[in-house]
Amino acid sequence: MENTLPLVSVVIPVYNSEQYLDRCLQSVTNQSYKKLEIIVVNDGSVDSCPSIIRKYAKQDSRVVIIDKENEGLVEARKTGVSGAHGKYIQYLDSDDALIENAIELLLDKAESVQADMVVAPFNFIEEGKRRTSDIFEFELMSGIQYLKQILKSEAYWTVWSKFHLRSLYFNNIESLDIAFGEDVVLSSQLLINSDKVVPIGSPIVDYYVYPSSMSHCLNDKAYQDFATYVSWFDDYIKRRELSEELAEELAFFHIKNTITRLHWRKNKDTDREMKRLVEEIQTYPKLTQILSRREKKIVSIYKVSSLLGYLKLLYYSKCGKI
């Protein structure tokens, strides 16, 4: 019976996370589903991570170690996937943990409906408090339909909340050299390559939030990286002949990103961006159906005066309404 079960490859990039690595690896080796290939990519760690990984590899033959020079999360994931043999891929960051029966739940769902991807909620754990991510409720969608929901902020980008076929990598997966938004780039392409996406209702990952987490460091660089993503993705969907399907949602994502960026800092670049976004809204009138009332007001004031638009943004920010 064991030989007929699908192999699942769990890919774990590791870089200087000695404080959390035991918890992460235990959560994978203790999974209720046993037919796993646990690919641990040591991305040039200089702490005790290599010895921790070797300890687990000695105890569990399913653990595969790949050592490489430090090139960052994107390259570590690519290296892990290129060495994978499983039918399915599950990513996990080395400072997070899988719920004990996560792979079993994900695999059962994927196999029962022959899905390309299974999406799931996850637990935020911060300062000892746990809360489950919001769930976007649906039964079945194409990957492009689900991507539209993400671009409209209805679902999460996180690639480790998306259990998926390894075969999705066989079609046009590209990389982008940005420090923020690695999940955005990869998730976009995996979803475009997915014909059938289905959900499960149970959380699969404990996502630990730390003050130093990159996702908390929202600065000009982060928003510039997201702008770089928008430019790249606009070109990507043109090359894939998907512009008509995704253009409005991508414009909305760019508007949300720019408004949030304005919330943090105003400069001449954001003025130019906002003027361009006003033109995009005029090009895609349906966007006004998605924007919140306050966002519409900010954009409409920007049509008249960038200074007035920024002052209105500051007012909403100080009131805690953005």
What is residue 261's predicted lDDT score, i.e. its pLDDT? Answer: 64
**Kind and range of the H or E element at 301?**
helix 293-304
Question: What is the biggest distance separating any 2 CA atoms in the chain, rounded to whole angstroms?
Answer: 69
251 in the same domain as 207: no
In terms of Cα–Cα distance, which of 35, 122, 137 is closest to 87? Answer: 35
What is residue 309's predicted lDDT score, i.e. its pLDDT? Answer: 39
User: What six digits make up the tokens of 185?
Assistant: 């780039």
286 in the same domain as 237: yes
Q: What is the pLDDT along the chain (322 residues), one digit of tens a residue?
A: 567 899 999 999 999 999 999 999 999 999 999 999 999 999 999 999 999 999 999 999 999 999 999 999 999 999 999 999 999 999 999 999 999 999 999 999 999 999 999 999 999 999 889 999 998 899 999 999 999 999 888 899 999 999 999 999 998 799 988 877 789 999 999 999 999 999 999 999 999 998 765 444 556 677 678 778 888 998 999 999 998 889 878 877 877 776 666 555 555 555 565 565 556 555 555 555 555 555 555 455 444 444 433 444 444 344 444 4
CA 26 to CA 23: how far, in whole Å? 5
Contact 264, 218 (CB under 8 A): yes
What is residue 288's predicted lDDT score, i.e. its pLDDT? Answer: 52
Residues 6+ apart with CB under 8 A from 116: 143, 164, 165, 168, 193, 194, 195, 196, 197
Domain that holds residue 265: 219-318
203 in the same domain as 234: no
Contact 250, 234 (CB under 8 A): yes
> What is this structure's pTM?
0.83
Q: Which residue, 184, 215, 246, sits at the end of a domain?
A: 215
Q: Which residue, 215, 246, 278, sits at the end of a domain?
A: 215
Q: Strand 36-43 vs strand 63-68: parallel, antiparallel, or unpaired?
A: parallel
Looking at the structure of the chain, the number of domains it has is: 2
Q: Which residue, 169, 200, 215, sits at the end of a domain?
A: 215
What is residue 312's predicted lDDT score, i.e. its pLDDT? Answer: 40
CA 299 to CA 312: how far, in whole Å? 10
Distances (CA, A) of 187 to 95, 104, 113, 224, 233: 20, 22, 21, 19, 12
Q: With left for phi above 0 and alpha for psi between -120 and 50, is residue 293 left, alpha or beta?
A: alpha
**E-strand spans in 171-283?**
197-199, 205-208
205 in the same domain as 229: no
What is residue 21's predicted lDDT score, i.e. its pLDDT? Answer: 98
What is residue 89's predicted lDDT score, i.e. its pLDDT? Answer: 99
What is residue 260's predicted lDDT score, i.e. its pLDDT? Answer: 65
Q: Strand 8-14 vs strand 36-43: parallel, antiparallel, or unpaired?
A: parallel
What is residue 83's predicted lDDT score, i.e. its pLDDT? Answer: 97
**E-strand spans in 44-93?**
63-68, 88-91
